[in-house]
Structure 1
Amino acid sequence: MVTVPELEHDHELELADGVRISSSGVSAVVGALRRPGAARGLLADDLSGAAAPLAPLLGAAGMRVVLGVPLDEIAVSARGFTGETPYVEVAVSAPGPDEGQVVLEVDDVGLVRWHVDVGAVATAAAIADGAGTPPRGVAPVRAGLEQVFRVPVRQDDRRALVGFGIRKVLHLIRFPIEAAAAAAGQVVVGWWENRHRPHSLTLVTPETLADVPPPGGVPTARLAELADQPFLLLVHGTFSTIRSGFAGLARPGDGPGLADLVARYDGRVLGFDHQTLHVDPSVNARWLLERLPRDRPVTLDLLTHSRGGLVGRLIADPGLAREVGVPAPNVRRLIHVGTPNDGTVLASPKRWTTLLDVFTNLLSVLPEEVSTATVESVIELVKQIATGVFTGLAGLTAMDPGNPAVTDANRRPIGGAVRGAGWVRAVASDFTPADGDLRRKALNAIVDPFFGAGNDLVVPTRGVYEAGEYRVADPFVVPTPSTVVHTAFFADARVRAKLGEWLPGAVTE
């Protein structure tokens, strides 16, 4: 345990074991460095504050804390407000060739943020700006070299002008690079999703929603037996699963819930679990279509969340069904809930760490809205990005507004309809944090500048129902001020009531 002197504005300190810490427009008191035992796994005591609940999930992913750097009494100079965002940089030795590392920041408000080394940040920015190409292997930040992690220090409304008194703890976390993924010729996230997030189509009830679905799920023959009446098909979003993405519908509350919908559809409620990170939405839609009966079209009402709405649009497209060789389903309803039809800026490679920050904080800030299944996916993406690999993430880039495919997709619809769908509806929210809730205010302050318009922390409000020529008539926007974030739609009574109006159940139209 070593106590080091104060870090002055625009200075550098040499710490123990070759660790250096420097500042730009920031001063701080650097506390005693903490080095947990290398022989044991990650424990809750290794992480501070809001990060502690993540310990079991990080440990299960093979992560361990190798260094803790407390920064107390952080003060931002007035000069810091005239140029680039003030920051602290920590330089450490790079890990060996079979490991990667990342910094997890925890501040005194309770927010957590991920930081990858500056080389990976520069690579992501170059890719997003079209000035570079994604590397095909691990970035050159290996043994014998140095990694530098830059931690911005942003002013917020809790502090005086100079930001005096802010506290942060920086956790340097190391993890093994998955050799099995490389041996299989796959990037880490793709290898992980194939093992832990196989496609599955299952019949869902409130009692079975929390179950992990079997690969494949309900046989096509069983679908054919039930195809005399409409199905309600649930399609989840990025990082998610049916059990986490639609958990809000299964909780007690006002408005129709999952039990009501199962009754309306005479038990014909299907949950479509699918991979969201390494494959394009068309791959998801093709898998679903291939599971449908080939002797007759089925009738579907689609209730989609987030990226699932992009998958839903493709399921409803008769052209894709013809390519697959199945009768096009009769899609009576397509409901978008928080769908990035016009993309989301957080899907740009240079903002992937912000996307990770938002979803990670939804565990600690809004624990009732996100299951551990979602955060497990987040952690795997953290590991891949931290090693500088930006390939194999077609599921994310499908939502990047800079991706020409997003623009092309929104040129196809005519008159606000989706080819093959009877009619389309949308639910959106412009999130406003409640007074006195500093954690949600801080999270909102991180995200809002990227959008420059209303958003639900992940998706722009208007982009749910206005995307090029794709326009959804009569959207339901949660009345302002809205405290409904991207993951909380299905727990909101107003949203559930609207879904109850839109979903007719097993009736003939």
Structure 2
Amino acid sequence: MEIKLSGSSEPIQISAASGFSLHAPGMYGMIKEMDTSEMTTRGPGIEDEMHKKIMASMASNEVLLFNQFEIEIEKDEYEGADESTTRAAGITRTTELGEPAMVLNTPKTRKNMMCAVLHTDENGENRWVFPEEHDDDKFSFMLPREGAEPMPEKGSNVRGKITKGIRRLVKVFAWLADDLIELGALALVKKWESKNRPYGLNLMAPGNTEGLEMDWDKIAGKRSLLLLHGTFSTWQAAFDGLIKSDWMNRLNDYYDGRIFAFNHPSLHHFPADNVKEFLKMKPSGADLDLDMLTHSRGGLVGREMIERLDQLDGKEHNIKVNKAIFVAGPHQGTILTDKDNWVKLIDSYTNLLTSLPDNTATIILESLITLIKVVGGGAVASIPGLQAMQPKGDYIKRLNSSPKVDTTYYTMGANYVPYDEKLLVRFGKKLLMKVLAKVFGEDNDMVVPTLGSFDSGAAAGGFPIPSSRQIKYEMDTDLNHLNYFTDDVVNKQIFKWLNES
């Protein structure tokens, strides 16, 4: 179904089904309702990179694609108009970012139904939009009127809105909030993770993303490598690029096949809880002689095992960690885990996932949708796995007061979103990057502050890490929080550090 946008000051019906309307005074163009089974595009030859990934991730969360639209705006009669003019035209609503908004109304067909919208602009940037308001009959979403602003071509100072030929995409997702209402936010997350992200250990092999059965006899007493993944992830998703690289063959030879990974829920448990479960899974007589490779929050799990093992349960566990490599470790936390920034955290991950392989992105999206359901349901309960990374939280303060350790620490991080807005323009970064630059107030990799990857900001065991054991990747490497292990330079450096005496 295609509907012409003719600048009407009244809401227009945009679906064959009742209850879907768009209020967009002064806007001209076309809006096309798509069958939910259709693969959407953003224009001729321009695919919707998130469609397959997000469709594959919905089943485990009992979320459905309620409807989807392609919107092509040819003209905005009130672009650049002053406030008195736009208010007189009925343009009175704004988005969460303060932009003039068009209002999308969607039907509420069940009392316990919740909705969220994934809006993709002309640049391909994704933004989750939650209902500004809802009643017994409908949800109302504030979508940006303005088109995305492209970066100028090299040598050009010309800027302008993208309009003709490139379409915005609007996907409306729906779910029933029964579990959230009955259980509460934390119990909902725990229920989902217990079923879909259980604890587990696997031996690893080059090119094998399924993993092998854990063999403690092979590991015990011999130098081995342990991999620890980060938030929303699994080892299969976090280390996919490394596993499929030639460097995994070299690591496998170096450790004689003694590489293993620990899957653990990253939301409903604190890192200390993760380590306690690891200790329960380890046979009591198995002495471990380890090196560690960690990503993101996995660095906090690793530090718990290294710095605070004797404080977890008072038992002797005979675990020696020789080296630990922290990749994008949130040693000072990340402000995106504060509840006020959860939507920005969700948006950051969603945009980073567009360039990752489908299977990797789907695994992370499945966990991310669980948090989307919490936010969409208006729940604000603390989620321990995120709470552990709050910069001013008790957990980070406690971890960063650990005693001196014998483990040799290495670290790497990236500056993908600089605080300097001139650099943002130069490197063609988008609206979300500008938002994150303001939220962080410092360089970051879209999830973790760059400085926090290298410095705990306190007198923690193993810190400060000498500069000779640090690698900082600048913007021209195009490394962000989720793609480190897809880069040959990163994997080579990891092998070099683990291989050196």
| TM-score, normalised relative to structure 2 | 0.79
- 2:66 is matched by which residue type in structure 1? V
Is residue 12–residue 20 contact of structure 1 (8 Å, CA) maintained in 2?
A: no
What corresponds to 1:272 in structure 2? 262
CA-CA distance at 1:203 after TM superposition: 1.1
What secondary structure is seen at the aligned counterpart in 2 of 1:372? helix
Structure 2 counterpart of 1:467, from 443, 456, 468: 456
Please give the alpha-carbon distance, in whole angstroms, between the structure 1 residues aligned to 2:312 and 2:122. 55
Q: State which drifts further: 434-443 or 398-407.
A: 434-443
Match of 1:113 among 127, 138, 155: 127
Q: CA deviation at 1:58?
A: 4.9
AA paired with 1:72?
A: I
Q: How does 1:47-446 map to 2 (within 5 A)?
A: 49-54=48-53, 56-58=55-57, 60=59, 61-66=62-67, 68=69, 70=71, 72-73=73-74, 75=76, 76-77=79-80, 79=82, 84-118=98-132, 144-152=136-144, 153=146, 156-158=149-151, 163=161, 165=163, 167-177=167-177, 179=179, 182=182, 187-208=187-208, 210-211=209-210, 218=214, 222-223=215-216, 226-252=219-245, 257-295=247-285, 297-320=287-310, 323=313, 325-367=315-357, 370-391=360-381, 393-410=383-400, 412-413=401-402, 419-431=404-416, 441=430, 444-446=433-435
Contact kept, 8 Å, 1:235 with 1:303, in 2: the verdict is yes
2:458 matches 1:451: no
Aligned to 1:138: none
Q: Return the alpha-carbon distance in structure 1 between the equivalents of residues 180 and 132 of structure 2.
A: 27
Specify the code of the residue in structure 1 equivalent to 2:411. Answer: A
Write the deviation string for residues 116-172 of structure 1: whole angstroms up to 9, x where unpaired: 1236xxxxxxxxxxxxxxxxxxxxx56x15432223458634487774738523222
Q: 1:123: which partner in 2? A: none
Separation in 2 of the partners of 1:151 and 1:236? Answer: 35
Give the structure-1-normalised TM-score: 0.78
Compared CA separation, residues 154 and 301, structure 1 to 2 (3 A): farther
Structure 2 residue runs without a partner (length 5+): 43-47, 84-96, 153-157
Change (3 A) 1:452 1:436: closer
CA distance in 2, matches of 1:468, 1:440: 29
Q: Which position in structure 2 is the counterpart of 1:491?
A: 486
Is contact 1:109–1:438 with CA below 8 Å preserved after alignment?
Answer: no
Could you tell me which residue of structure 1 aligns to residue 90 of structure 2?
A: none
Q: Secondary structure at the match of 2:444?
A: coil
Aligned twin of 2:495: 500
Structure 2: how far apart are the matches of 1:340 and 1:158?
31
In the TM superposition, residue 102 of structure 1 has moved relative to its aligned partner by 0.8
Q: How many Å apart are 1:269 and its aligned residue?
A: 0.8
- Identity of paired residues, percent? 24
State the distance in 2 between where 1:154 and 1:363 align: 22
Contact 2:334 2:447 in 1 (8 A): yes
In structure 2, what is the Cα distance between the partners aligned to 1:451 and 1:74? 35
Q: Is the 8 A contact 1:344 1:400 kept in 2?
A: yes
Using a 3 Å threshold, how does the CA distance of structure 1 residues 481 and 206 change in structure 2: closer, same or farther?
same
Q: Are 2:390 and 2:396, in contact at CA under 8 Å, matched by a contact in 1?
A: yes
CA contact (8 A) 1:7 1:13 kept: no
Q: Give the Å deviation of 1:184.
A: 10
Q: Please give the secondary structure, in 2, of the residue aligned with 1:301.
A: strand
Shift, 1:315, TM fit: 1.0
Letter paired with 1:193:
E
Work out whether residues 459 and 486 of structure 1, in 8 Å CA contact, stay in contact via their aligned partners in 2: yes
**Corresponding residue for residue 137 of structure 1:** none
Q: Which moved more, 1:155-164 or 1:195-204?
A: 155-164
Distance 1:369 1:448 in 2: 30
> Does the C-alpha gap of structure 1 residues 496 and 207 become closer, same or farther in structure 2, counting only changes over 3 Å?
closer
Inter-partner Cα distance in structure 2 for 1:181 and 1:383: 11
* CA shift for structure 1 position 313: 0.7
Give the conservation status (yes or no) of the 8 Å contact 1:44–1:55.
no
Hey, what's the Cα distance between the residues in 2 that align with 1:170 and 1:345? 28
Which amino acid in the other structure matches residue 201 of structure 2? L
Aligned twin of 2:39? 45
Alpha-carbon distance between aligned partners in 2 of 1:164 and 1:499, rounded to the nearest angstrom: 42
Q: Which has the higher contact order (CA 8 A, sep 6+)?
A: 1
Q: What is the letter of the counterpart of residue 191 of structure 1?
A: K
2:205 alignment partner, SS class: coil
Separation in 1, partners of 2:4, 2:486: 48
8 Å Cα contact 1:286/1:320 also seen in 2:
no
Does the CA-based 8 Å contact 2:57-2:363 persist in structure 1?
Answer: no
- 1:68 offset after TM fit, Å? 2.9
Q: 1:13 — aligned with what? A: 11
Paired positions, count: 460
1:203-225 deviation line (CA, Å, top 9, x unaligned): 111143x1167xxx63xxx4255
Q: Could you tell me how far apart the structure 1 residues matched to 2:102 and 2:406 are?
A: 52
Instruction: Determine if contact 2:117/2:171 at 8 Å carries over to the other structure.
Output: yes
Quote how far apart the aligned CAs of 1:13 are. Answer: 2.9
AA in 1 matched with 2:251: L
Please report how far the alpha carbon of residue 305 of structure 1 lies from its aligned counterpart in structure 2 after TM superposition.
0.2
Amino acid across the alignment from 2:80:
S
Shift of the 30–399 alpha-carbon distance from structure 1 to 2, 3 Å rule, reads farther
Residue 70 and residue 297 in structure 1: after superposition, are their counterparts in 2 closer, same or farther (change >3 A)?
same
Amino acid at match of 1:227: A
The CA distance in 1 between the partners of 2:40 and 2:187, in whole Å, is: 29
Q: 3-state DSSP class of the match of 2:340? A: helix
Give the secondary structure class of the aligned counterpart of 2:66: strand
C-alpha RMSD of matched pairs (Å) = 3.7
2:326 partner SS = strand
1:233-269 deviations in Å (ceiling 9; x for gaps): 100011111111111112335xxx2221121112111
Report if the CA contact (8 A) 1:43-1:59 is conserved. no
